[in-house]
Amino acid sequence: MYAFTQHRPATVRQAASLLAKQEEAKLLAGGHTLIPTMKLRLAGPKHLVDLSKVEGLSGIEMKGRSLTIGAMTTHVEVQTSPVVRENIPALAELAGKIGDPAVRHRGTIGGSLANNDPNADYPAAALGLGATIITNKRRIPADEFFKGLFETALEPDEIVTKVQFPKVNKAAYVKFPNPASRYALVGVFVSKRSSEIRVVVTGAGANGVFRVTAFEEALKKRFGAKSLEGLTVPADGMASDIHGSAEYRAHLIGVLARRAVAAAG
């Protein structure tokens, strides 16, 4: 691992100023992607700005029809939160399927979204529920947040502080996990909020998380697994690696989407 200097700011403002001031600075949340990446020398930040001492970045709150989760809230906190379980149970279930218990004790929602790993689970929930990512500067709709592999709309000194999820009528997430890492080989998140239907895929796209508009259109006529029968996603644009070919991933999208719609009820 390359040498670095650690910083432990107490406020978002201090953290943002460190990010802006220091060359090659990176934020450290739960560290469960960044630390392994640094060990492999795939990342070599000169400065690590740790967010664990920053006040007000954790917590879960339901206000009206909107669920707000602080960026430093851990996966296990989302998984076990009675508020999340009552209002958006699919989100609690998704959080409980990330990695393993030790990973869920450290990993955070803000870290996962800002990293935008193409096989991560949270990007599917954020896009699949039409969430809003709140930063120290602005509010970014999930539709404009994810920009490709490990790329987001975040500016260099921008910090995710909260994520806001609207309550939906129906939602479910089904994933085919890599048996070792538990990352999604393919994961499909579906949701229905009045007339808005979203079908979102993680793990499969060569360019990260994406919506399947053809499936969404079919579900608008009738929200049921039958509406998706015979519909497929072309293998073009799918990721292909030792874990699964593009064709296999495309096939899984159809299977998992039907299961997710059935699970959402």
Minimum CB separation of residue 102 from another protein in Å reads 5
Q: How far is the CB of 28 from another protein (least distance, A)?
A: 7
With respect to another protein, which residue has the nearer C-beta, 107 or 130? Answer: 107
Q: Which residue's CB is nearer to another protein, number 180 or number 230?
A: 180
Which of residues 3 and 64 has its CB atom nearest to another protein in the complex?
3
Closer residue to another protein, CB minimum distance, 6 or 194? 6
180 versus 242: smaller Cβ distance to another protein: 180
Instruction: Provide the 8-state DSSP code for 47.
Output: E
Provide the 3-class DSSP secondary structure of residue 247.
helix
Query: Around Cβ 43, how many Cβ atoms within 10 Å?
Result: 17
Question: Measured between alpha carbons, how far is 111 from 124 in angstroms, rounded to an integer?
Answer: 14
| Cβ at position 35, least distance to another protein in Å | 5
Residue that is written with structure tokens 């969430």 in the block: 131
Residue 132 beta carbon to another protein: minimum distance, rounded to whole angstroms: 29
Q: Give dist(CA 101, CA 79) in Å, integer.
A: 11
Nearer to another protein, 18 or 261 (CB): 18
DSSP code of 225? G
Residue 228 burial (CB < 10 Å; 0-12/13-18/19+)?
buried
Structure tokens at 192: 């229905």
Angle at 184 between CA 37 and CA 245, to 5 degrees: 100
CB of 39 to another protein, least distance (A): 7
What is the Cβ-side half-sphere exposure of residue 111, based on CA atoms within 13 angstroms? Answer: 24
By CB under 8 A, name the binding residues for another protein: 1, 3-6, 8, 28, 31-32, 35-36, 39, 48, 50, 52, 76, 100-103, 105-106, 179-182
Amino acid at 222: R
In whole angstroms, the minimum distance from the beta carbon of 9 to another protein comes to 14
Give the chain's largest Cα–Cα span: 57
